A and B are shown apart, each in its own frame.
Chain A
């Protein structure tokens, strides 16, 4: 149980890292190495759901593990846990954010573009919180291989975010800037 809980957590984090990067590529409106734009969007959505599934497994298996002392309240209310409450609480915060993000994403037609977009910005908060939770709370959190992997992921995400902030980011940015909407 415990082992499966750890592995599913690591897989979930890895998949969320991919999701975040794909989300940034989606926003750019560009195709990605042969994948047309609509594929990038669909893969982004699918990987997000897959990551969420692994997260459910991660939380679920740990709930049934006697060593973890994780109950239902701890899943959604942060910082109540008995084992490393602060770091575990970060995980709970990430789960709370994710629930909001996923629900608004799946129901975006009903909640509207503005609400969907507003909540979606929190993915930029959710990811680093999840990373911090993994390092502080995870059994392998301070293992060398895990830290190396995490640094690599942070570099990738960092690069993507920096790219996001440049003015050549969007595929149509140059043409639109040149014409200028007066």
Chain B
């Protein structure tokens, strides 16, 4: 599948004003939206663009069900999550800066569809500036509250979003019930990535069939990707579903001959080797490689770089970014980072890879959020994708220096 598509999310151009937005997309009476939007979203096949990739309509439905499950309806809350804690990712910032009105449309549409009485946008202060201006340009967005997200990796985790709005502290919470059942102040809470909401705004206007007009049957529509690393400048691109990884990279100006591997899905993603880049960028397309699109980050590792060193640096960062609430994360991740650093910097201990795998297996699934899981998954994928480098390191040399 080709990597190019007519722009959808950025069709109104850079920093689109409300007027330009209306001229490009037409108007959307968010007040008249009903729960029928859920059916349209189900037909569209839209999945979450924040990393987890759940079917979007299901989240709305769960929230709607939680609302009506009580004798006295429990009024939901909708939160647009634009925190984008992943440092490599730029798409949410770009969306909030250039197409804030699509995000606002989507937020209002989702709120109307689940009969929510409160709506928030949660993003860093810089993004909130542009968004605040956009809100002031229109009359239907007055009841949207702005909530500032700290600049931490974990700030975008769903329960951290709720916690931040509730208490000001953006760390994950222990959860027995799902957010859709009981989230912010015990109300059914719908948290959506800002890009997902932007797509909702388009489906609400043009319908499911239009959404499916690009992409594939199993991965319809478009997604935003951030191409970074050994690439000509960081850039955000909108690509159709099931676009070939190699095509996306080429469209971003990456010289595939100089690629050693690509970290697909960001710091919680997985390493994909160069000869595997003919895989489609979709959940189904990447599953056989043990990867997933995540929040659409493609970080390119050059042939002259060492995958193990790069991974060690990432693990060190991720360990630092632990919320330090849960033992396995607080201690397991620094230990993982330390062992990986040893492997990356010349330890000859043959048992290191096995120790790393065992520690990763121990830590995964523990803790009150998926920070440990994502981290251990990435580390395990590095041991697999860079198995030749592991072998070389344990024998005292590094393959990247030979490839310069």
Contacts and interface: CB of A to CB of B under 8 A. Distances in A.
Contacts of A181: 322, 324, 330-331, 334
B341 to A, nearest CB: 12
A181 B319 CA distance: 8
Contact of A176 (B319, B320, B331, B338): B331
A176 B324 CA distance: 13
Contacts of A182: 319-320, 322, 334
Interface string B328-359: 00110011001000000000000000000000
A166 interface: no
Interface size range on B against A = under 10
A109 B322 CA distance: 28
A175 to B, nearest CB: 8
Interface bin, chain A: under 10
A34 interface: no
A181 B324 CA distance: 8
Interface string A142-182: 00000000000000000000000000000000011001111
Contacts, number: 16
A107 B330 CA distance: 30
Nearest to B329: A181
Nearest to B321: A182
Nearest to A181: B330
Interface in B42-91: none
Contacts of B338: 179
Contacts of B334: 179-182
A91 B322 CA distance: 47
Contacts of B335: 179
B313 to A, nearest CB: 14
A149 to B, nearest CB: 42
B327 to A, nearest CB: 8
A179 B335 CA distance: 6
Nearest to A176: B331
A40 B330 CA distance: 27
A180 B338 CA distance: 11
B200 to A, nearest CB: 39
A52 to B, nearest CB: 32
Contacts of A176: 331
Interface string B288-323: 000000000000000000000000000000011010
A179 B319 CA distance: 12
Contacts of B320: 182
Nearest to B330: A181
A157 B110 CA distance: 62
Contacts of A179: 331, 334-335, 338
A138 to B, nearest CB: 46
A40 B331 CA distance: 27
Interface string A27-70: 00000000000000000000000000000000000000000000
Contacts of B322: 181-182
A57 to B, nearest CB: 42
Contacts of B319: 182
B254 to A, nearest CB: 33
A42 to B, nearest CB: 24
A182 B341 CA distance: 15
Interface of A: 175-176, 179-182
Interface of B: 319-320, 322, 324, 330-331, 334-335, 338
16 contacts: A175-B331, A176-B331, A179-B331, A179-B334, A179-B335, A179-B338, A180-B334, A181-B322, A181-B324, A181-B330, A181-B331, A181-B334, A182-B319, A182-B320, A182-B322, A182-B334
7 closest residue pairs by CB, A with B:
A181-B330, A179-B331, A182-B334, A179-B335, A182-B320, A182-B319, A179-B334
